[in-house]
A = this chain, B = another copy of it.
Amino acid sequence: MSGNDPEIQAGREISRLIELMAKLPGLGPRSARRAVLQMVKKRELMLLPLSRALAEVAERARVCVDCGNIDTTDICAICRDPRRDVATLCVVEDVADLWAMERAAVFRGRYHVLGGVLSALDGVTPEALRIPRLVDRASGGEVSEVVLALGATIDGQTTAHYIADALSGAGVAVTSLAQGVPVGGELDYLDDGTISAALMARKAL
């Protein structure tokens, strides 16, 4: 016997929500079903607040035009914060890595989010990673050091070396996170202590 129509089970809207939730990273059909059920059961505590929060983010979230961070303003709170050191730029692959750096709370400069790493296989070019824009920012006179906080993967290290070359005429020190980032490891998986230690022990390239 074939499966019953999933829309008949739970209503078209609920099935649609489960289907969309199941596509999120870390969730699958089963956890999406449990999450939606939990939301519906906790209408006041979960469903309504989540619906409002998601609507607000949908309306207001945007990419910072300076650094590539995500915030609800055109220039993100980190780029706007006058207490952040304008002389140091930290280059990360992804917004998740920027958030991981911020949780470690030892870096007081600003960021440049590449949005990926160079990959000949996947056709990811320096332009796609906003590397020309990084060179502009680093050459403006304010910046004295660019810290490369990229993963210890082959593509991450290739990208780091490409950026170090690109910045060779910018008159800035180019450093990278110390050994301490596990080989093959991704930044966003590290605990705060490892990130702090690697940043403290950063070395010149």
Contacts and interface: CB of A to CB of B under 8 A. Distances in A.
A65 interface: no
Given A53-B13, A57-B40, A96 B47 contact: no
Contacts of A51: 51, 54-55, 57-58
Interface residues of A, number: 66
A34 B38 contact: no
A61 B13 CA distance: 8
B24 A96 contact: no
Contacts of A60: 11, 13
Copy number in the complex reads 2
The 3 closest A-B CB pairs, nearest first, are A26-B31, A51-B58, A11-B72
Choose among A9, A47, A71 the residue with the greatest number of B CB atoms under 10 Å from its CB. A9
Interface in A40-61: 40, 43, 46-51, 53-58, 60-61
A202 interface: no
A99 to B, nearest CB: 6
Contacts of A4: 102-103, 105
